Amino acid sequence: MMEIILAEHRGFCYGVTRAVQLAESSLGQAAPICTLGPIIHNPQMVEHLKQNGIGKVESLDEMEQGTIVIRSHGVGPQVYQAAADKNLTIVDATCPHVKKAQQSAKALLETNDYVVVIGEKKHPEVKSIFEWSNQKAYVVETVEEAETLPNAERIGVVSQTTFAGRDFDRITEVLATKCNELEVKRTICTATELRQKAAVELAEKVDIMIVIGGKNSANTTRLAELCTKTGCDTKHIETASELKPEWFFEKTRAGITAGASTPGWIIEEVAKKMETFESAFDVEMKELRKGELVEGTVISIRKDGIFVDVGYKSEGFVPAQEVASPTPDDLHSVVAIGDTISMIVESAKENMDGVVVLSKRKADQREVVANIVRAFESGELVTGKGVEEVKGGLRVDVCGLRGFIPASHLDIRQTKDIAQYVGQTMELKIIEMDMKKNRIVLSRRVLLEKAAAEVKKLAFERIHVGDILTAKVLEEVKGGLRVDVYGVRGFIPASQIDVQMVKGLRQYIGQELELEIIEADEKKGRVVLSRRVLLERAIAKAEQEALDRIHLGDVVEGTVRRIQDYGVFVDIGGVDALLHVSDMAWEKVKHPSQLFKVGDAVKAVIVKFDAEEKRIGLSLKKLIRDPWLDKADTVKEGTVVVGTVAKLTNFGAFVKIADDLEGLVRMAEISERHIKKAEEALSVGQEVKVKILTIDKRNKKIALSIRQVQQDAERAEYKAYMKEQEDKNVAFGNQLGDLLKDFEV
């Protein structure tokens, strides 16, 4: 009896699983939906996606609208730009490992004389990595090609993710002789190495090795080559239909492995068909027992049932109602002549027609249950389709059996919209099972968590405190914003969004912000970012540049930013300056809002500047002549004017001699007599004559005198009197002279 052994590591890798999930989840996006080239190197999966409404194009020229899915092998940066120029919706299913190789090629180009991409020149993944090197890298596949490369001081190396590790090491040994410093980024996927190692180990233990995967799949072809090198009889197939019974003649142990692009259901089909070959070489005729599971080949199809050859002395017959459930109208739609099928023996003896009655329907049910149990025990994934929302979760169909997904296991985070999963086909893991109670509990969350953990690991390899990056805001959360950072969630505290506290964070959702990583903790999965530190840095730089341009006495222009009781702050090109209320006008200003509002343009002169303290004082009134001086020019020292007493003080009285022009009459200049208070001689509002003694324009002071006006008046009166007396004396003398003439001798 032939033993069939499955390789420990086989089939879909994380990157392929992720690519297929992203492609399937794109349903509902803008139509048409197409992958750019095959999503993975597996024709059956490509056909499966096509049946579900996801087509394939080889060039963006074939797309004028809709959604384009970037396949797992990745593309160059120019493809993203071309898709964006066409306004296509982009679903990026590039494998994270490939993405890492692309970015490594780009980074190595900046620090090395040239870059070498180790891989297959015609492979789409290698082509995409080459594009990210700005089409400047050398692509080598063999040691011989590496030996032809030129010598250099520094060489950077990156690899195709599915390249054989041994060959990679041999090529890098050659490259090390070509330079003084070799910078190697070993971007070979660990999943690839594990598959190759497991395949080689199994090939050394079995008689025949079956390698399953697309003929155009590089990693599958490589598996077949490695198995062949061990000396094991190796067959590379895509589907179970390619298996030939003669391959297994006299073979006691057969191994199965599969490339990273091979889905689990194809592996299962191959294994099942190989199991049928075991009995094909069993020469002893077995006795049939009721309830026994047997395999046979369909030899005839009728309307009422099918005849099969089960290796028994008589033929087996499967009634139509036992072929499938529900009973098909046309049995040809279920089976074809030559098909090998499993059946349950309904009767161990021939009936009246000389045939053994069998049931394919019951065998299918048993097989489904067996597969489910095997999947549960081995931890393998199963495929389920959402049927309906039920209390506490979602009911799903798993290979015809009823299963249940608790709401807490639908996604990593609790989902409120369970109905969105109805009709969706999902890969699931069985977390609880009791077939006696027909109870199957499944989880989608555990798969997402595993994928998220891988994304997290790759992300934190790129995340470093102090790095500056651009990230898209996903949502508003308590205390700040969530952003996407290389596939993991980052957090921007509200205090780190701007230099001032921001109200209404929803305005940032969907925006791409330039941020700096200020905290990173891989264990906690915590990434904290700040936009504020970058803004403060830019402001500080602008301030310093502005300060370097500033000189005392410069006339500058700016914009009012803030208004305070004591003045306004004016932005004069990257730095704030204070225009004090006392420097706004020559007249007294009660409050700055009388003259300014936020946003007003201001032209002023710099009157104070302290570069160290970053303090700048402006003056508006220094740009215009003091109107007091104009008014002072209307009066002259020594003149007498009429004024009005405006204010009395303990040192004198202020007298208004013109509009907005006052002078001080000191106590000694109020009256001829001695007074202690100005109120003894004057009252507010009283009209008086004053003499302008002095005009001090520097200190804006005018000295007046009432006393001197009185003295000047008295002096004038006295002079007039004396002149009058003098005139009278002269006249009398003349008269006396005339009289004395008569008495002359």
- pLDDT score of 733: 65
**SS3 assignment for 620-672:** CHHHCCCHHHHHHCCCCCCCEEEEEEEEEECCEEEEEEECCEEEEEEHHHCCC
Torsion, Cα 465 466 467 472, to 10 degrees, reads 80
- pLDDT score of 522: 85
- Lowest pLDDT segment from 90-104, 328-342, 451-465, 582-596: 451-465
pLDDT at 66 over 90: yes
- pLDDT score of 285: 43
Cα(241)–Cα(43) distance, rounded to whole angstroms? 14
pLDDT at 599 over 90: yes
Q: What is the pLDDT of residues 180-220, one digit of tens each?
A: 999 999 998 888 788 888 999 999 999 999 999 888 887 88
Please state, for a pLDDT cut of 90, what percent of the chain lies above it. 49
Q: What is the pLDDT of residues 626-637, one digit of tens each?
A: 788 888 888 899
Higher pLDDT, 719 or 580: 580
- pLDDT score of 717: 79
Active site residues: 125
- pLDDT score of 487: 81
What's the mean pLDDT in 336-343? 91
The CB density around residue 418, as the number of other CB atoms within 10 Å, is 18
Name residue, tokens 């970053």: 614
Cα(691)–Cα(706) distance, rounded to whole angstroms? 6
What's the mean pLDDT in 292-317? 86
Measure CA 164 to chain center: 34
pLDDT at 734 over 80: no
Cβ neighbors of 346 (< 8 A, separation 6 or more) are 290, 322, 357, 358, 359
pLDDT at 133 over 70: yes
Cβ neighbors of 563 (< 8 A, separation 6 or more) are 569, 592, 593, 596, 597, 598
What's the mean pLDDT in 422-435? 90
Tally of CA atoms within 13 A in the half-sphere of 503 that contains its CB: 0
What's the mean pLDDT in 659-675? 89
pLDDT at 51 over 80: yes
| Summary mean pLDDT of the chain | 88
User: Confidence class of residue 1 from pLDDT cuts 50, 70 and 90?
Assistant: low
pLDDT at 743 over 70: no
